Amino acid sequence: MINQYQRVVVLNLLAKHKRQEQMLTDKMNQLFNRFQNERVTKFHYDFHSETKGDKFEHLDDLLHVLKDSLLNTFGYWIENKIIDGFDLQKGVYRTNCLDCLDRTNVTQAKIAILILTDMLRLIFDHIKQKGTPSNPYSVNNEI
Residues 70-119: pLDDT tens digits? 666 776 666 545 455 555 677 888 888 887 678 888 898 988 888 888 87
Average pLDDT taken over every residue of the chain: 80
Q: Report whether pLDDT(143) > 90.
A: no
Are 11 and 96 in contact, with CB atoms under 8 Å apart?
yes
Read off the pLDDT of each residue in 25-37 and give the average, rounded to a whole number: 89
In the three-class reduction of DSSP (H, G, I as helix; E, B as strand; rest coil), residue 82 is classed as: coil
Q: How far is CA 78 from CA 75, 102, 133, in A?
A: 10, 29, 16
The model carries a pTM of 0.76
- Residue 138: per-residue pLDDT: 52
Q: Taking the mean position of all CA atoms in its chain, how far away is CA 58?
A: 16
